[in-house]
Structure 1
Amino acid sequence: MFDKILPLYGIQPVESDVQLFGDGLINHTWKVTTKSNGYILQQVNQSVFKRPMDIDENVSRLKSYLNKTHPEYLFVSPIAGTSGNSLIETPEGYFRLFPFVENSHSLNVLNKKEEAYEGAKQFGRFSKLLNDFDVTQLHITLPDFHNLTLRFSQFISAVENAPAQRKEQSTDLINFIMAQRDIVTIYQNIVERKEIPQRVIHHDTKINNVLFDQQNKGICVIDLDTVMPGYFISDVGDMMRTYLSSANEEETDLAKINVRKDFFKAIYDGYMKEMGDVLTATEKQYFIYAGKFLIYMQAIRFLTDYLQNDIYYGEKYEGQNLNRTKNQVTLLKKYLELEPELKEMIS
């Protein structure tokens, strides 16, 4: 495969070393090393991203804007191939090639609050630099990705049509989710009343989508496939969901799931360092809600999949999505318990 793809970028396969790279779950990724340069080669997952050209056009428009307004920002975008196109279609699928950023690294696990601060600062900086970009120019690469109203509707349908045994095993979880449906109502009000503006939002703010330098200072954000119009609560909420607990979403020992208050403050300080003068007063009131919004939605998505016999996420072992739901529900409960303290921390 590489013998056919690399020459499309002017790279000779015999002079290149190609190795699988990273822990991404969506796209296939390889590091390509030549005598003089390093690259990241990626195959776009078309089962997830139905229109890869939309991603390419989004990135191209953002690159053009940032080159004019903030040329100092490191915007990691695809390299044009010999045809002049940065997204190349082959019989094997769509591919793009990125420059490898030397002396950089990414993190898969957050161990220090300073790392959370740097991650939040970089995602905040990304949205801040694009604050004046016309968000209507961007394609929706994943329709309804963070549409909580739709996710809740799908959950209700899954409950109604679930196999009796799976529904019985989920009774407590279903009851908890139903008891917290005011989270959905708040989201509906945000959308219907246009309480907060749509912005250029990354939508996937896991820490491994931030590049760090050798001193563990943030450089920039990467993996721009999900960049599209959205609300800031998506980016902040995803950081809350993935940064706060020292245990990840696969942890089955619920006693290990926690909310690190110093990490919450680090997320707030880092994000607001960049976006503090950009967010509206109403947006700032929804900062803590952002965590509830995303954790709740992910719990719904995991349980919906379990009730539908694991047709979306699949399962590596029996009951994995049920365990994932328990994990996220536990995280949400602990987050809700701490809400008064969190409000005091940022008041």
Structure 2
Amino acid sequence: MKDHLMRIASQFALEGAIRSIDPLGGGFINDTFIIRTEGEAPDYILQRKNKNIFPDVPAMMENIRKVSEHIARRVAAEGGDPAREAMTVVPTRDGALCHCDEQGEFWAVCVFIADTVAYDKADSEALAEKGGEGIGRFQALLSDFSEPLAETIKGFHNIRHRFEQWDEALKRDAAGRVASLGEEIGWIESRREETMAFWRLVEEGTIPTRVTHNDTKISNILFDRAGRVLCVIDLDTVMNSTSLNDFGDAIRSYCNTGAEDDPELDRVELSLPMFRAYTRGYLSQRARQLVQAEIDHLAFSARYITYEQVLRFLMDYIDGDTYYKTTSPDHNLVRTRAQYKLLQSMERQYDAMCAVVRELAEEYK
């Protein structure tokens, strides 16, 4: 394996001699390694991109290049350090953005940003606020981005597409589970129209399409040693969609008092203080750039994304657990119920969530 990695790394235009290549992290999608170099040369991140999730890796890497270079230009214009505040894609020696090996696997390299801090979970309101600031700044730096981006994952966060998949899954009933899921299926169907109404606002342009990250967990934000937001990383899912998707998905992960697959539903609630903290950080960067329709639907986006996740977990359970990794026969059903409990908590606290958004939007405008 080490020799294979050395051969892969040698295809890229790296500075300095390679000292070592070691696994980094435990990602669920890509295989990630850190390349350590000799002397003053930078270190690098080497990744095997998952072509099952991303069927067009070259197009994905072109998205990453465009977005990273735009952010770097904006950071430089503001007097910042683009080498630390933007990702830098490293091309192959022949100028390509990725390398395809003899097994047909795709590999890509970016510069490793040294002396940074990352977190697996936002466990305080202060950190939640910083997370909101990080994603808000990422979107703000791309507010004037106008180049086309490829759709790297078809129908991502597109509820019309998800309903088409859902209806087909119910008809197939591949695992013979539909008959026992009347209550859970009712959860989905009773909210179908309100989520489609939201999505129609995106389709017709009332809620504008912008550049979105689409994986806004806090582990994708790098901080400096002083706690300042440096850079948003892991740009594989960067696409065009509504900014609200990034906000809603962050709220789903940051503000849940329980686990995504918590079997003890009493532990699962939306933390309103964490919601306020994240929203404060986000709107400190974005309030002046969002149109009123985005402000008006910011709180609803958390319900929308959480609902979509209920649907996707239940759909995978109906299909026989073919998409998400599971650790027990009913794991996807446990996930479904936990996310539904979170959705119910959001619905109960929705008026308070909207009030928080209105207050902070006015403060930062």
What TM-score results when the alignment is normalised by the length of structure 2?
A: 0.89
Once the two structures are superposed, residues 130-189 of structure 1 have per-residue CA deviations (whole angstroms, 9 ceiling, x without a partner) of 111115x11111121111112123223322332685224422211122222233222332
Aligned twin of 1:193: 204
Amino acid at match of 1:147: N
Residues 1:53 and 2:58 are matched in the alignment: yes
SS in 1 for 2:222: strand
Alpha-carbon distance in structure 1 between the residues aligned to 2:345 and 2:72 = 43
Which position in structure 2 is the counterpart of 1:88?
99
Q: Partner of 1:339 in structure 2?
A: 350
Instruction: Give the conservation status (yes or no) of the 8 Å contact 1:120–1:267.
Output: yes
Corresponding position of 1:26: 29
Partner residue of 1:245?
256
State the Cα deviation string for residues 234-263 of structure 1 (Å, max 9, x = none).
100110111111323122221221211111
For residue 312 of structure 2, the aligned residue among 301, 304, 327 is: 301
RMSD over aligned Cα, in angstroms? 2.1
Q: State the partner residue of 2:112.
A: 100
Equivalent residue for 1:39, pick from 39, 44, 47 = 44
Q: Distance in 1 between matches of 2:268 and 2:62?
A: 40
**Ranges in structure 2 where 5+ consecutive residues have no aligned partner:** 359-365
Q: CA deviation at 1:314?
A: 4.0
Are the equivalent residues in 2 in contact too, given 1:155–1:304 (CA < 8 A)?
A: yes
CA distance in 2, matches of 1:251, 1:260: 15
Aligned 8 A contact 1:152 1:184 in 2 = no
- Alignment partner, residue 232 of structure 2: 221
Task: Give structure 1 stretches of 5+ with no counterpart.
Answer: none
Give the secondary-structure state (helix, strand or coil) at the position aligned to 2:89.
coil
What is the DSSP-based 3-state SS (H/G/I as helix, E as strand, rest coil) of the residue aligned with 2:45?
strand
How far residue 281 of structure 1 moved from its aligned partner, in angstroms, is 0.8
What is the letter of the counterpart of residue 126 of structure 1?
F
Partners of 2:62 and 2:17 in 1: how far apart? Answer: 32
Matches within 5 A, 1:145-294: 145-162=156-173, 166-294=177-305
How far has the Cα of 1:55 moved from its partner? 1.4
Correspondence 1:120 to 2:132: yes
Q: Which residue of 1 aligns with 2:146?
A: 134
Amino acid at match of 2:8: I
Code of the aligned partner of 1:106 = A
Q: Percent identity?
A: 27
Pick aligned residue for 1:3 from 3, 6, 18: 6
Contact 2:62 2:97 in 1 (8 A): no
Q: What secondary structure, in the 3-state scheme, does the structure 2 residue paired with 1:9 have?
A: coil
CA offsets per residue over residues 73-129 of structure 1, 9 Å max, x none?
421132123323331222241111122211112211221111111111111111111
- Using the size of structure 1 for normalisation, the TM-score is 0.93
Distance 2:13 2:206 in 1: 49
Q: Distance in 2 between matches of 1:167 and 1:32?
A: 48
| Partners of 2:102 and 2:30 in 1: CA distance | 17
Which residue identity is paired with 1:70? V
Displacement after TM superposition at 1:301 (Å): 0.5
Aligned residues: 346
| Secondary structure, aligned partner of 1:141 | coil
Q: Distance in 1 between matches of 2:345 and 2:227?
A: 29
Q: 1:145 to 1:129 in 2, by over 3 A?
A: same
SS of corresponding position for 1:220? strand
